[in-house]
Amino acid sequence: MSLRIRLLLPIFLLCCISVTYFYGFWMSRSVASGESIYRESIEGHLATIEKGLIPLMVSRQLDMVYGEFDELLKENADWRGITLFDARGKLLYPLSGKPLSQPREKGQDVRRFERIIKYRNVSLGRLIIDVDFGPRLKSIRAGHRGPRIMFLSGLFFLFLLTFLFVDRIVTRPVRVLSEAAGHLAGGDFSTVLPKSGDDEVGMLVAAFSSMREAIGRYQSELRDEIAEHRRAEEEVRASRERYRSLFMNMLEGFAYCRMLFENGEPRDFVYLDVNEAFGTLTGLKNVAGKKVSEVIPGIREANSELFEIYGRVAMTGRPEKFETYLDSLGIWFSIAVYSTEKENFIAVFDNITERKLMELALREREEMLSFSGRMAQIGGWEFDVGTGEGTWSEETARIHEVDPKAPTGVETGLSFYRGASREAIESAVREAIESARPYDLELEMVTARGTHKWIRTMGQPVREGGRVVKVRGMIQDITERKQAEEALRESGRRLKRAEEVAHLGHWRLDLGTGLVTWSDELYRIFGVAPETFRPSAGSYLEFVHPGDRESSSRVTEMIRREGTGVFEFRIIRPDGGLRHVSGYGEVVHNAAGSPTAIFGTLLDTTELRQKERELQEKNAELERFTYMISHDLKSPLVTVKTFLGYLEQDLARSDTARVGKDLNYIRTAADKMGQLLDELLEMSRIGRIESPPVRVGFGDLVGEALSLVAGRIVEKKVDVRVGDQPVILYGERPRLVEIWQNLLENAVKFMGDQASPVIEIGAEQSGGDTVFFVCDNGIGIDPRYHEKVFGLFEKLDPMSGGTGLGLALVKRIVERYRGSIRLESDGPGHGVCFRFTLPDALRHTTKGEKG
């Protein structure tokens, strides 16, 4: 029940009682009192009427009575009727004769008054008057309305005021306080409180406010305290976790045990608790609660010292640390044991088997190192910068050929070096001391016994507090290596020379790194410089002839696959020169048999090919030559032989005409044979120098040739025009003359029936070369036969004189001077131009002139 209701309920009840009283008691009494007053007044009135009536009745002045009664009815509106009976009960009034019935109308409250009219105790009659009380009562009641409204309104306003007041000063503040308290419970301290007055509620508000502040303060203190507490708790937990984790995760094994004594002697012990590492390190599982003699049977016999130590620690509480080898586990342990309570002990241990093995290996390695130092002739040394005193290893002393026990120092050390070596080592040592710069030198030295040695020495400054205090290093006798190196260098030089001579380069492709190295000769073959070109598996392809690039790019692949391989390609050098090369490569394996590199050679076969081609040409020529011999030399022989047979027959038949013919054929054949042999002889001379080379003018040569064929020129009336180019040649004069002689003969011979035969001879410059020409306007040569004319014994016209050697001879001479010859002719009837060069004959003159 709300406070408001509680406060208002009594007021409400009071109101109810007041209303009940007002309506139920006060009002009815007031009406009753009004009614009785009215009745009394009516009674009084009646009594008056009675008194008046008595004389009349006695006197029987009835009409007077009647008049009186009518007047009465008129005067008193409330009177409903008057009825008068005489003593015998005869109705006297109303005159209508009917006793007044009492009709009841609504809102009427008719009351009957009866009176016996007596005079001297004699009844005169009975009077009845009916009076309507309704209007009278109604007016009384109407008189009550004003006070009633006043009363009710008063009550209502009282109630309302009380309600508002209570609400304003009690309910609302209390509710706000209640809400604030609710918020406060929820931790909200900020609810706005009502104003605190000097009444009880105000005091309550003030008290609440101060309580809230107190709670706030207390709460914040509490909070801090809780946080502090939590932190502490967390720390404890973390620490516990850490220790637990340390215990569980520590790499060292941990065992908490109780020692069992028998007659004061440690006999056995029980594992109380172990960590995980225990299992990992020992390989033992589920040992907690078990005796060691169960877990590791025979341990007492095998490792009695373990029991002694554990027993001692368990009894005395003095911690001990030791290393031991457990046979039964095959493990080396490092164990620290301590005791916190008597007869119990804690062992913390580690498996140090690996370390032990390493120590063993290290010892072996040290021995090995010392051994290999001796074997490799490497010694160590060091000296003190301050004092200059030093020490060195036995091997160092051995290298210097001095007594290992003799004292040494920096001065002694340096005294073994002379000349440039001395300067080098002194400056290196100085640098090491002053600038803390390490050094690594290869030097020549002379030992105490005068032996010349090559050594490698390395020095490493040792610093302390920023200052070099010591220099420490090693020394190695590298005499043999140096000699080997020198031998290698020599062999390298020879190889290089050999490669140069043979035009053979070599290369190496490292299969691991992909690095390619070339020998000097290889660079020369490619026409590139090592400074500007970097060889690689692909970069060289740039110089490979485009036609060979694809096959060349697959070479390494092929060699890798096959183990070895040969290949050929063409190179176009940066300067445009074309070279033919052929190469060989093979895979190199290491000791383990895996391929490490490809080693190969590359041979410049250009000259070889040139020679080969020349040889082929010579061979072909030789073949042609034998062919010619077999035909052309045999041919006259066949003729001679056959016609000798005919001659015999003809002589037998004495057919003189035929004899003459036969003899003529035989003679012609013999002549032809002679001519052939002469020219062949001439031809064979070309390759050999028969006369000393001389300087001769072009004009002189042509002049001499002309003089040799002068007869035929004159005979055919040929107009010969010779150019006056000032060309000087250097060579065998007769050979050079033969060129022009043969060409002139040829021109004259094939002039045909030209009406005005002309031969032009001259020289002209063309593309830096001097080109000589001999042109005629004779019968010309069909382009089909242009090459054929230069062949041995080739004749285009079987009827013409000559053996067919002339132009072959010219070609040979021209080639002898490294020149070339070609003929130009637009075909039969257009004449022929022979054009040729003689570079060697001209080169020598230029040289000679310059010289």
Partner 1 sequence: MKGEPVVILLVEDDPAHAEIVRRNLEDFRIGNRLVHVTDGQAALDYLYRREEFSDPALSPRPGLILLDLRLPKVEGLEVLKTIKGDPDLGRIPVVILTTSGTETDMVKAYDNHANSYLVKPVDLERFVELMKTLGYYWLAWNSYPY
Residues that bind partner 1 (CB under 8 A): 626-627, 630-632, 634-636, 638-639, 641-643, 645-646, 665, 668-669, 785, 788, 794-799
In angstroms, how far is CA 78 from the centroid of its own chain?
127
CB of 332 or CB of 643, closer to partner 1:
643
CA count, 13 A, side-chain hemisphere, 154: 11
> What does the block give as tokens for 751?
């002039």
Contact 471, 390 (CB under 8 A): no
CB < 8 Å & 24+ apart, contacts of 205-213: 205/173, 205/177, 208/177, 208/180, 208/181, 212/180, 212/184
Cβ 550 to partner 1 shortest distance, Å: 38
Cβ 778 to partner 1 shortest distance, Å: 17
> What does the block give as tokens for 506?
């070599």
Cβ 733 to partner 1 shortest distance, Å: 33
Cβ 788 to partner 1 shortest distance, Å: 8
Cβ 640 to partner 1 shortest distance, Å: 9
How far apart, in whole angstroms, are the C-alpha atoms of residue 446 and residue 401? Answer: 10
How far apart, in whole angstroms, are the C-alpha atoms of residue 112 and residue 82? Answer: 10
How far apart, in whole angstroms, are the C-alpha atoms of residue 391 and residue 199? Answer: 107
CB of 643 or CB of 730, closer to partner 1:
643
Walk across the sheet containing 91-93 and list its strands: 91-93, 79-86, 122-132, 110-119
Contact 275, 248 (CB under 8 A): yes
Taking residue 205's Cβ as centre, other Cβ atoms within 10 Å add up to: 21
DSSP state of 87: T
CB of 392 or CB of 643, closer to partner 1:
643
How far apart, in whole angstroms, are the C-alpha atoms of residue 74 and residue 63? Answer: 17
CB of 440 or CB of 782, closer to partner 1:
782
Cβ 632 to partner 1 shortest distance, Å: 7
Contact 612, 773 (CB under 8 A): no
Cβ 621 to partner 1 shortest distance, Å: 16
> What does the block give as tokens for 528?
């590139």
Cβ 673 to partner 1 shortest distance, Å: 12
**Helix axes of 3-20 and 134-166: crossing angle, nearest 10 degrees:** 160
How far apart, in whole angstroms, are the C-alpha atoms of residue 520 and residue 528? Answer: 10
Contact 739, 703 (CB under 8 A): no
> What does the block give as tokens for 493?
């030089």
Cβ 502 to partner 1 shortest distance, Å: 37
Phi, psi of 405 (to 5 degrees): -85, -15
CB of 29 or CB of 631, closer to partner 1:
631
CB of 10 or CB of 801, closer to partner 1:
801
Contact 456, 480 (CB under 8 A): no
How far apart, in whole angstroms, are the C-alpha atoms of residue 335 and residue 305? Answer: 12
CB of 305 or CB of 671, closer to partner 1:
671
CB of 638 or CB of 694, closer to partner 1:
638
H-helix or E-strand containing 26? Answer: none
DSSP assignments along 612-656, one per residue:
HHHHHHHHHHHHHHHHHIIIIIHHHHHHHHHHHHHHHHHHHTT-H
Of 120, 104, 123, 122, nearest to 112 by C-alpha is 104
CB of 207 or CB of 638, closer to partner 1:
638
Cβ 789 to partner 1 shortest distance, Å: 10
Contact 50, 65 (CB under 8 A): no
Cβ 639 to partner 1 shortest distance, Å: 4
CB of 658 or CB of 844, closer to partner 1:
658
Contact 509, 538 (CB under 8 A): no
Cβ 669 to partner 1 shortest distance, Å: 6
Burial (CB count <10 Å: 0-12, 13-18, 19+), residue 506: buried
DSSP state of 380: E
CB of 247 or CB of 646, closer to partner 1:
646
Cβ 619 to partner 1 shortest distance, Å: 14
How far apart, in whole angstroms, are the C-alpha atoms of residue 108 and residue 102? Answer: 11
CB of 364 or CB of 797, closer to partner 1:
797
Cβ 498 to partner 1 shortest distance, Å: 42
Cβ 652 to partner 1 shortest distance, Å: 14
CB of 219 or CB of 626, closer to partner 1:
626
CB of 521 or CB of 794, closer to partner 1:
794
CB of 373 or CB of 636, closer to partner 1:
636
How far apart, in whole angstroms, are the C-alpha atoms of residue 165 and residue 11? Answer: 13
